[in-house]
Structure 1
Amino acid sequence: MSGPITIEAPGSRPGALWADLKDLAGNDARLFAFAMRAAWVLVPLTLAIVVVVFGTGPEPRRNWYGDMLGNDFSQIWVAGRAALEGRGGEPYDLPVHLENLKAAFGPDCRFAWHYPPVFLMPAAAFATLEPQPAFFVWTALSLAIFAGAMLFAAGRRDAAWIALAHPLVFCNLTYGQNGLFTAALMTFGALLVDRRPWLAGLCFGLLAYKPHFAALAPLLLLITGRTIGLASCLATALVLCLASLALFGTAPWIGFLGTLGETNRIILQKAAAGLELNASAFGAVRLLGGPILAAWALQALVAALALALAICAWTRPVESDLRAAALLTAAPLLSPYLPVYDLVPLVPATLLLVLAAHRTGGLRRNERALLLATPLFALLREGAGLTGFPLGLILALATLACIADRIRPWRLSAERRSALT
Structure 2
Amino acid sequence: MPAPSQSRAPGPATARLPALWADLADLVSSDARLSAFATRAACVLVPFGLALVLLVYGTGPEPRRNWYGDPLGNDFAQVWTAGRSALEGRGGEPYDLPVHLANMKAAFGQDCRFAWHYPPVFLLPAAAMALMEPQPAYLLWIALSVALFALTMRVAAGRMDLAFVALAHPLVLSNLAYGQNALFTASLLTLGAVLVDRRPWLAGLCFGLLAYKPHFAALAPVLLLATGRRDCLAACLATVLVLCLASLALFGTAPWSGFFGTLGDTNRIILQNAAAGLDLNASAFGAVRLVGGAMATAWIAQVLVAALALGVACRAWCRPTDAALRAAALVAAAPMLSPYLPVYDLAPVVPATLLLALAAHRAGGLRPHERVLICCTPLFAVTREVAGLTGFPLGFVLSVATLACIAHRIRPWTVFEGRHRTGRGGVDIQALTGPAAGESGRAA
* TM-score, normalised via structure 1 length: 0.96
Residue matched to 2:149? 146
Query: Of 327, 335, 339, which residue of structure 2 is paired with 1:332?
Result: 335
3-state SS of 2:371 partner: helix
- Aligned to 1:378, the other structure's residue is in SS state helix
Deviation of the 1:418 alpha carbon:
6.8
CA-CA distance at 1:25 after TM superposition: 2.3
Q: Would you say the 8 A contact 2:320–2:415 is kept in 1?
A: no
Question: Matched residues in 2 for 1:57 and 1:269: separation?
Answer: 36
Deviations 1:46-94 (A, max 9, x none): 1011111111111111111111110000000000000000000000111
Are the counterparts in 1 of residues 387 and 394 from structure 2 also a CA contact under 8 Å? yes
- For residues 221-256 of structure 1, the C-alpha deviation after alignment (integer angstroms, 9 at most, x for no partner) is 000000000111001000100010000000000000
Measured in 2, the distance between the counterparts of 1:81 and 1:20 equals 53
Percent of matched pairs sharing the same residue: 72
Aligned position for 1:112: 115
1:317 aligns with 2:320: yes
Aligned-pair distance for 1:358?
A: 1.0
Aligned partners of 2:100, 2:10: CA distance in 1, in Å?
68
The change in CA–CA distance for 1:328 and 1:44 in structure 2 (over 3 A counts) is: same
Q: What does 1:17-96 align with in structure 2 at a 5 Å threshold?
A: 17-96=20-99
Quick one: which amino acid aligns to residue 394 of structure 2? L
Contact 2:83 2:129 in 1 (8 A): yes
User: Of the candidates 100, 103, 113, which is equivalent to residue 100 of structure 1?
Assistant: 103
Work out whether residues 171 and 347 of structure 2, in 8 Å CA contact, stay in contact via their aligned partners in 1: yes
Pairing partner for 1:278 from 278, 281, 293: 281
Name the counterpart of 1:268. 271
List gaps (5 residues or longer) in structure 1.
1-5
Partner-residue secondary structure (3-state), 2:28? helix
Q: Alpha carbon RMSD of aligned pairs, Å?
A: 1.7
Change (3 A) 1:408 1:251: same
- Are 2:251 and 1:248 aligned? yes
Residues 244-271 of structure 1 deviation map (CA, whole Å, 9 limit, x = unaligned): 0000000000000000111000000000
CA distance in 2, matches of 1:139, 1:93: 27
Match in the other structure for 1:203: 206
Unaligned 5+ segments in structure 2 are 1-6, 425-444
**Contact 2:27 2:371 (8 Å CA) reproduced:** no
The structure that has the greater radius of gyration is 2
Tell me what 2:401 maps to: 398
Indicate whether 1:187 and 2:195 are aligned: no
> How far apart, in 2, do the equivalents of 1:15 and 1:41 lie?
25
Q: Which amino acid letter does the alignment assign opposite residue 334 of structure 1?
A: L
Aligned counterpart in structure 2 of residue 172 of structure 1, from 175, 182, 191:
175
SS in 2 for 1:379: helix
TM-score if structure 2 supplies the norm length?
A: 0.91
1:413, CA displacement in angstroms? 6.3
CA–CA separation in structure 1 for the residues paired with 2:415 and 2:393:
33
Contact 2:192 2:202 in 1 (8 A): yes
Matches within 5 A, 1:219-238: 219-238=222-241
- Aligned pair count? 415
> 1:368, CA displacement in angstroms?
0.2
Alpha carbons 2:87, 2:127 under 8 Å: kept: yes
SS at match of 2:138: helix
Distance in 2 of aligned mates of 1:299 and 1:8 = 58
Can you list the C-alpha shifts for 1:361-382, whole angstroms capped at 9, x where unaligned?
Answer: 1110011000111112212212
Name 2:375's counterpart in structure 1: 372
Measured against aligned partners, the alpha-carbon deviations of 1:391-410 in whole angstroms (never above 9, x if no partner) come to 1101100100110111133x
- Once the two structures are TM-superposed, the CA of residue 191 in structure 1 deviates from its matched residue by 0.7
Query: Are the counterparts in 1 of residues 316 and 329 from structure 2 also a CA contact under 8 Å?
Result: yes
1:144 is displaced (CA, Å) by 0.3
Give, in angstroms, the shift of residue 316 of structure 1.
Answer: 0.3
CA distance in 1, matches of 2:27, 2:195: 35
Q: How far did 1:16 drift? A: 3.4
Residue 213, structure 1, aligned to residue 187, structure 2: no
